[in-house]
Amino acid sequence: MDTAPGVLAVVLAGGRSRRLGGTDKLLATKDGRSLVDRTVDAVAAVADRVVVVGPDREVPRDVVVVQEDPPFGGPAAALVAGLTALARGVPVSDHALVLVVAADVPAVDELVAALMAAPPAHDGRVAVTDGRRHWAAGVHRFGSLRRSAARLGPPAGRALLDLLEPLELEGVDVDPRLVQDVDTPAEAEALGVVLPPAGGSATAAGGPDDVVVRWWRHVVTELGLTDVPLDPTVVLDLAGAAARGVVRPAAPVSTYLLGWAAGRASATDPSMDPADLVARLQRLADEWPG
């Protein structure tokens, strides 16, 4: 039997914080409170139930914490895991609203207020700045998300765009400040966010990234590429940005194009910094409209 509609929330709290050197950015603080605490409090003020998706961590309220499968399987997998947890053992109306936000947005209180200012007329609402949709900032009908997830199939490695773009969504124009997240130390400083001490490398021994780094070093040695100017974690970060912002197969395509562009540029300008190309490709992936 269908229950009365309500407001639910999914907080996306995964990711490896590679550009922050492995520091858990969600434990960074703004005005003395961690980003994850601020986010949970902001959504709990309007939602009946809250699910945080990401590595197990302490949260300030009695909320459910789950991990997407596989861990770090991407934002679409995280949202699907959140939807599953919301409905576990509790009937949920297809008309219920699901507030979806990332846990690393310092202005989350204002963002939630903007998204919840009016109920969506159709499948949902999504934050928009300068014509660009921010998929990790929206409010959607539970039934619309459930049906889209069923059509999508296995969500691992898929972008939020793959899950949400098929829906009939209205845009909510917001100030860019409301969706500015923390991905780099420079962004943290600009937003008044204090980073915690590094809690360990993103390439912990035995993890998948550690295998990639060892493979990188092996190939570099075998091919005599002793002057490779980039660290493997930088390339991994680019691949992750392409997979999240575009589609999973865009990751190897992007890294191939990076190598091609860097090789061509170095032939004409030896002073060229490949990191500039990486930053440019990351911006392209982040701004990809679909």
In tens, the pLDDT along 162-193 reads 999 999 999 999 999 999 988 778 888 888 88
pLDDT attached to residue 290: 65
pLDDT in tens, 245-269: 788 788 888 888 888 888 887 777 7
Domain count, the chain: 2
Task: Give the model confidence (pLDDT) of 193-242 as tens digits.
Answer: 888 765 433 344 444 455 676 787 788 778 877 677 766 767 777 887 78
Integer Cα distance of 71 and 107 in angstroms? 27
Distance of CA 43 to the CA centre of its chain: 17
- Indicate whether 198 belongs to any domain: no
Within this chain, do residues 31 and 115 fall inside the same structural domain, yes or no? yes
Cα angle for residues 125, 63, 26 (degrees, 5° grid):
75
55 HSE (CA, 13 A, CB side): 9
| Residue 11 neighbours by CB under 8 Å, 6+ apart | 36, 39, 40, 43, 50, 51, 52, 53, 82, 101, 102, 103
Domain with 166 in it: 7-190
User: Are 238 and 118 contained in the same domain?
Assistant: no
Task: Provide the pLDDT confidence category of residue 61 given band limits of 50, 70 and 90.
Answer: low
- Digit-coded pLDDT (tens) for 63-114: 899 988 877 788 899 999 999 999 998 899 999 999 999 999 999 999 999 9
Are 31 and 149 members of one domain? yes
Strands 33-34 and 29-30: what pairing? antiparallel
- CATH code: domain of residue 134: 3.90.550.10
- Cα dihedral 150, 153, 158, 162 sign: negative
The pTM for the full model equals: 0.68
Mean pLDDT of 271-279: 76
Coil, strand or helix at 77: helix
8 Å CB contact between 87 and 8: no
**Co-location of 268 and 128 in the same domain:** no
Say whether both 142 and 51 belong to one domain: yes
Note the pLDDT of residue 3: 45
Kind plus residue range of the DSSP H or E element containing 85: helix 75-87
- Both 107 and 159 in a single domain? yes
Is residue 183 located within the same domain as residue 220? no
- Is residue 29 within 8 Å of 194, Cβ to Cβ? yes
For residues 119 and 244, membership in a common domain is answered with: no
Give the phi and the psi of residue 3 in degrees, each rounded to 5.
-95, 170
Among 156, 190, 224, which residue terminates a domain?
190
Q: Which of 162, 190, 218 is the last residue of a domain?
A: 190
170 in the same domain as 238: no
Residue 123 lies in a domain: yes
Averaged pLDDT, 144-159? 93
User: Is residue 96 situated within a structural domain?
Assistant: yes
pLDDT given for residue 168 in this prediction? 97
In this prediction, residue 10 carries a pLDDT of 98
Residue 7 pLDDT grade (very low, low, confident, very high; cuts 50, 70, 90): very high
Which of 159, 190, 221 is the last residue in one of the domains? 190
219 and 145 inside one domain: no
- The answer on pLDDT for 49 being more than 70 is yes
